[in-house]
Amino acid sequence: MRSVFRRLAATASTALLLAGCSPMLPERSAPARYPAAPARTEAPLVGALIDQPVGGGTRSAVIRESAELQQCMAQLTAARVIFHPVPDRSTTAACGLSAAGVLGPDLGTVARMAPGDVEMTCRTALALSVWRRQSLEPAAREILGSDVVQIDQMGAYACRNVNNGGVSGRVSAHSQAAALDFAGVRLRDGRRITVSANWAGDAPEARFLRRIRDDACHIFGTTLSPDYNAVHADHLHLEATDTRFCR
């Protein structure tokens, strides 16, 4: 009997020794060291209108999406276009700002406006952003073989009449910051393309300027070029109003 008890005791000791050498399993209740999952998944920022190709319905879409300031700003924000709203103001009976702001950089592109931080209506900013991404920059790469790094402009808000006429003339869209005058671009390879110097003829620079003019007619309400009159010999007048005129 004593030998049986000795064998049983030896077996039990061996089992305890093996158990002590076995690795301990982690507790099931131990929390994982990871940040808590968000309550909901945010959708990525994708520009609904600014990232769509120019077509027959682009102009109507710009008008529709800019009918309310917050709706217009949402389009710009989704496409990473910086736009800071400003309070409405009236300078004179015919001049002032409404649903306007300061257009800053487009973080989705390389090209920058010069001068920068232009004050304009949100509708103008939206139309300009569509034109920049879907016409001006792709056309430069296709026709001129280089990226646009700077967009030269001659101003948006100016309390004046059409063609800088006298007090009896028709009020310009510039008096409501609803238009921008485009002068030309500077390319990454160092070239400068201007409406005043490169509009005439059939060189690549001229074809580039006419392409972006034609595209602008599908985005802006009124687009005026050197083909319209001598006043526009050095710029494209891009007017984001509920009008229909292209020349």
Tens digit of each residue's pLDDT, the chain (247 residues): 444 434 444 444 444 344 444 344 343 343 333 233 333 333 344 558 999 999 999 999 999 999 999 999 999 999 999 999 999 999 888 899 999 999 999 999 999 999 999 999 999 999 999 999 999 999 999 999 999 999 999 999 999 877 554 455 678 899 999 999 999 999 999 999 999 999 999 999 999 999 999 999 999 999 999 999 999 999 999 999 999 999 9
Q: Are 214 and 194 in contact (CB under 8 A)?
A: no
Contacts of 211 (CB under 8 A, 6+ apart): 135, 139, 143
State the Cα–Cα distance between residues 34 and 138, nearest whole angstrom: 44
Q: What is the pLDDT, as a whole number, of residue 54?
A: 96
State the Cα–Cα distance between residues 229 and 77, nearest whole angstrom: 36
Q: Give the single-character DSSP code of 161.
A: B
Contacts of 134 (CB under 8 A, 6+ apart): 50, 51, 52, 53, 54, 215
State the Cα–Cα distance between residues 159 and 118, nearest whole angstrom: 15
Output b/e per residue, 173-211; b: 16+ Cβ within 10 A: bbbbbbbbbbbbbbbeeeeebbbeebbeeeeebbbbbbb
Q: Give the single-character DSSP code of 86.
A: -
Token pair listed for 82: 């910086």
Q: What is the pLDDT, as a whole number, of residue 160?
A: 80
